[in-house]
Structure 1
């Protein structure tokens, strides 16, 4: 079954401090996990349309960090960084955004936020859910106003396109 880029992607605000984004991928969970965690693949899909990410750094373990420098269409570089709190292959990743930055900072990872990414098996497909708990309602408002939901939806659609065209292989 082919899923169009706009199909099966959602984003919603929950409570005062939460944003939940999800998408169904027409691929097995292990493949989606690989696309999400392998630096060689992350750089091919991370970021909204018009952005690109050169090779990134990923130390996928509790206490490990990641850094993805998004090149924006405006010529600016938007760093996306965080620290892994929990890694349970191929089910869940929990990471924290950079601490002590003002609301409105962060390229995909809001400051002082905890992000839980869940990879759920649904037959031959995978439901990926990004649950972001922000430090305050002001942080959530800033993230929403900066296009956090739309940016993630575009990123997940780009990931689906990479999977669909076969750019990410189970055994590479």
Structure 2
């Protein structure tokens, strides 16, 4: 399939294929119709032949080339599958488009430091697991690391030590190798129902871009556990725009990860 795609990726060869789709033609005829010299046309036909797209018929002193439909049919199936995959995952593109729009909107108002201080978010989930299980997925590093990173990100260190003054750390890297670090402390922990902690997002120099103050409550319900996560922003710098813009989408994605691991239902996100 790679060889077929490469062969068809040249404009001149694509024109030759279009002409051969009408009927078999000789090198001379193809050269005349494409405006190419005959040696160029022959090289293009050889490339198409190696990919199985054309067959040559020696007819006395002439060589006539015909197009093979089979490889094109295979390519058609591959492209159809590709289109279906794109359509099935259209929401992933929507996430990127919403994030880009959010960055533009935040940039328009981020004229000075502290511009987003006091902004608050809430996230609600009903998870199909007892709250002791949900609690463990927040405070045990291996379990926390299994769901906390957004798609395409890789966690390199994470910790929420469930005691006042305990470490709160979230480090991860993107596919390009850029590292992102957040650090803070746990303010309160009552197992298995309440966890409060701060996380300051740090830039490359270690300066604070913004601080998130998180308040997690886990309440037992008939179908499992109701998770409620409150987040309030403070210490905002102008450079925090892409982080602030991604909060709603990012936490939605990681809570999707958590729900996928332990079971979950509806999501609700509010901002004030």
Give TM-score scaled by structure 2 length: 0.46
Distance 1:71 1:39 in 2: 17
Report whether the alignment pairs 1:37 with 2:136. Answer: no
Deviations 1:59-99 (A, max 9, x none): 32101112221122332121132200000111111111239
Match status 1:28 vs 2:127: no
C-alpha deviation, 1:138, in angstroms: 7.4
Does the 8 Å contact 1:47/1:152 carry over to 2? no
1:159 aligns with 2:261: no
1:135 aligns with 234
What is residue 190 of structure 2 aligned with on the other side? 88
Which consecutive residues of structure 2, in runs of 5 or more, have no partner in the other structure? 1-90, 92-117, 264-272
Q: CA deviation at 1:132?
A: 0.9
Identify which of 150, 162, 165 aligns with 2:249: 150
4+ aligned runs moved over 2 Å, structure 1: 54-60, 97-102, 136-139, 141-144
Contact 1:47 1:155 in 2 (8 A): yes
CA 1:122/1:134 → structure 2, altered by over 3 Å: closer, same or farther?
A: same
Secondary structure, aligned partner of 1:113: strand
Give the direction of change, closer, same or farther, for the CA distance of 1:137–1:54 in structure 2 (3 Å limit): closer
Rounded Cα–Cα distance in structure 2 between residues aligned with 1:46 and 1:68: 9
**Larger relative helix fraction:** 2
Structure of greater Rg: 2
Q: Measure, in 2, the Cα distance between the counterparts of 1:75 and 1:25.
A: 33
Bigger relative contact order (CA 8 A; separation at least 6) = 1
C-alpha distance in structure 1 between counterparts of 2:119 and 2:218, whole Å = 22
Indicate the SS of the match to 1:24.
strand
* Contact 1:70 1:80 survives alignment (8 Å): no
2:160/2:186 contact within 8 Å kept: no
Distance 1:99 1:43, change over 3 A: closer
Q: Is the 8 A contact 2:194 2:215 kept in 1?
A: yes
Cα distance between partner residues in 2 of 1:134 and 1:118: 18
Give the match's secondary structure for 1:134: strand
Distance 1:46 1:54, change over 3 A: same
Q: 1:77 to 1:130 in 2, by over 3 A?
A: same
Distance in 2 (alpha carbons) for counterparts of 1:113 and 1:55? 18
What is the TM-score with the length of structure 1 in the denominator?
0.71
CA RMSD, Structure 1 to Structure 2 (Å): 2.7
Q: Which residue of 2 aligns with 1:118?
A: 217
